[in-house]
Amino acid sequence: MPTQLAQVAPMADSPWGGLLAVYFALIGVPSGLTLAVWWHRRRFPTAALTLDWRAGWACLGMLAAAGALLTIDLGRPERFTLMLTEFGNWDSPISLGAKIIALKVFLLGVSLYMLARRRAVSGGAATPLPARGATRRLERTVTWLLGASSIALAVYPVAVLARTWVSPLAGTGGSALLFLVTSLLMGCAVVELIAAGGTEPRGEQEARRRHMMLVLLMTFGAVMAFTAVSVPLGPARESLDAVLRGDWALLFYGGVLGIGLTVPVLALLLGQRRRAARLLSAVAVLIGSCLARFLVFMA
């Protein structure tokens, strides 16, 4: 019996290092960015497509960085290649996540190619002519597949963490929703940063983005409260206590609630249409959302 207990007892240190913690925090950015751009395109279909172009390349860059982090963390590039090429391990969330990353990279490549073709046919106009026929159907299919893969990438880290003892908070009821909301927040923040350097018209678009950010921030606060009250007794409760009253309390109250929630809400409410306020809120949201995901992993 003592031997059996020793075999199932938790290890003193996590087998996963800081690189994987960074990966789980940042993988939400390209996921949320794709969804935020889709929302923006649906609201403003005649707006300039500079945002789509820049966001697509930004997503490709971040996904490439995510793949590099996974490869470095695994230690051997052939292990990451095996996760991409082996199709007999669908029950492995890590392997499934690697395949979703590869699928999204392919879909982004197709989307950017079609957008480049439309811009070329339109003579470089800010608003290319809309696609028609089979091209339009292909664009719709790619858009929906990109949305589905983005949602999967936003929440699949929780599925990975929930299957281990390393991160007890990942197995709670609100963890998947928390990862989805933080991903959407980071995506909207990056859209705001990209739009700040663009030439698209302002006014209504800025107001809509501001309202959406406020709604997501309020949802973020509600999800954190729901997650806290739904945590059961056991290791998850101990992890929550470490976040609220223990070693991680300063990072939670100062980073997540202070920088990630209070600062952007006040900036958006008091700054109104000021560009500096929107940029400050976007940077603060990125910091707070990444820290929230990091705490679920580390606490």
Q: What is the pLDDT of residue 172?
A: 74
Contacts of residue 145, defined as CB under 8 A and 6 or more positions apart, other chains included, come to 103, 107
Evaluate whether 207 touches 137 at the Cβ level (below 8 Å).
Answer: no
Q: Is 91 exposed, middle or buried (0-12, 13-18, 19+ CB in 10 A)?
A: exposed
Q: What is the DSSP annotation of 129-159?
A: PPP-HHHHHHHHHHHHHHHHHHHHHHHHHHH
Q: What is the pLDDT of residue 248?
A: 85
Q: Is 233 exposed, middle or buried (0-12, 13-18, 19+ CB in 10 A)?
A: exposed
Model confidence over 224-274: pLDDT tens digits?
888 888 777 777 788 888 888 888 889 889 988 999 999 999 988 887 677
Q: What is the pLDDT of residue 77?
A: 61
Question: What's phi and psi for 183, nearest 5 deg?
Answer: -65, -45
Helix pair 275-298, 263-271: axis angle to 10 deg: 160
Q: What is the pTM of this model?
A: 0.81
Q: What is the pLDDT of residue 63?
A: 85
Q: Which two tokens stand for residue 196?
A: 């700040």
Given a cut of 50, the residues of the chain with pLDDT beneath it are 1-12
